[in-house]
Amino acid sequence: MSLNGKAYIVGIHEHPIRRADGLTTAQLHADVALGALDDAGLTLDDVDGFFCGADAPGIGGMTMAEYIGLRKLRHLDSTETGGSSYLLHVSHAVQAIAAGHCNVALITLADRSLAAGAGTALAGIDFTNAPDRPFMAGVPPGPLFGYAMVAKRHMHEFGTTSEQLAWVKVAASHHAQHNPHALLRKVLTVADVLESPLVADPLHRLDCCVMTDGGGAIIVARPEIARALKRPKVKVLGGGEAFKHADGGRIDLTYSAGVRSGAKAFEEAGVKPADIQYASLYDSFTITVVVQLEDLGFCAKGDGGKFVADGNLISGVGKLPFNTDGGGLCSNHPGNKGGMTKILEAVRQCRGEAHPAVQVKNHDLVLAHGTGGSLAGYHTAGTLILGAE
């Protein structure tokens, strides 16, 4: 089933908080849900579809539906694929709407891992009994080391440099300075990134994303409903999802599942990478962005380092503005799952509602992309192409 034109994103909300002391996870879910409904001009009684991940406390979506007060609910989806979950939720919501399962879908993410002292653990996910866990004894936990391997391999294969990776963080910082809610608002230089402590060769501290609490929500609606609302219309033109195996260690670290999810989304939307005017790209680490740019077709494999250099990702300066809210590298990464915020900023850009200093002039076609899991192992990629109407 093609997603093209079957539904619209009609409401969004990002929680302004970056540390949620004094708030529960359930409260955060409710806050962002009500914020997105208010943005759309809808009410709780309009919602008949609910989508969430493992960060939803209790019995997941069922508990949150009760807590938030979704009395008209007739469709529930709790797909969990880490940071890419929310890209998949939008695609699944459009599919559910097209199939007649619901008319208005609410998608929420919320977490307080920072306030809870949970470190880099993914919200609501327990890896204790994962079948690969016994084979990882003695391997340092956390995603940093895996992404350092991806960066090191990319450098070995293609000559990518630490200076080129640093430009990704520099671009994000140029955008974050205009976001009053961004955790890091200082404009950085390449030297700042390279002089920050080396945490896992070749990645420096400033090559890594921030850790925050908070959340966000999205409202997806049937076209007839969207047209009746007094908000800019953002049409879902295409979506793709794909999985990549670690293949028992026989894995090529130079590419991600985005190769397939991106191709599917572009085909469905009937556009090509050169048509995209803004891109929200998952930025857990600077190398994550470089790999995704190649896999989505914005440049050839191996040319990602050259593509990001010299400010090419900075709005108003470069060829492809990215993450104009500061992204996960500088602004917000709730629950260590950054796919939600990628969609939110893509919608703002498509509506023409990003900060004036970073709003792209032409914003008819935008892309949001995320990965869940690790580029150094098994993961799922989700890609969305959105259009202004």
Domains of the chain (ranges; CATH) run 8-125+213-235 (3.40.47.10), 139-203+237-388 (3.40.47.10)
| β-sheet bridge partners, residue 221 | 8, 104
Q: How many residues are present in the chain? A: 389
| β-sheet bridge partners, residue 11 | 219
Q: Of all helices (H) and strands (E), which one includes residue 155?
A: helix 144-158
C-beta of residue 279 within 8 angstroms of C-beta of residue 369: yes
- Retrieve residue 281's tokens: 């790209």
- Within a 10 A sphere around the Cβ of 275, how many other Cβ atoms? 13
pTM of the predicted model, to two decimals? 0.95
Nearby residues of 253 by Cβ (< 8 Å), 6 or more positions away: 149, 150, 153, 154, 375, 376
* 136 has pLDDT over 80: no
- The C-alpha atoms of residue 375 and residue 254 are separated, in whole angstroms, by 9
* 96 has pLDDT over 90: yes
Give the pLDDT of residue 143. 84
* 319 has pLDDT over 90: yes
pLDDT mean over 364-386:
96
Residue 122 banded pLDDT, cuts 50, 70, 90 = low
User: pLDDT tens across 50-79, in order?
Assistant: 999 999 999 989 999 999 999 999 999 999
Please spell the DSSP secondary structure of 51-93, one letter per residue. EE-TTSTTTTHHHHHHHHT-TT--EEE---BTBTHHHHHHHHH
C-beta of residue 177 within 8 angstroms of C-beta of residue 185: yes
Which one, of 176, 167, 169, lies nearest residue 355 by Cα? 176
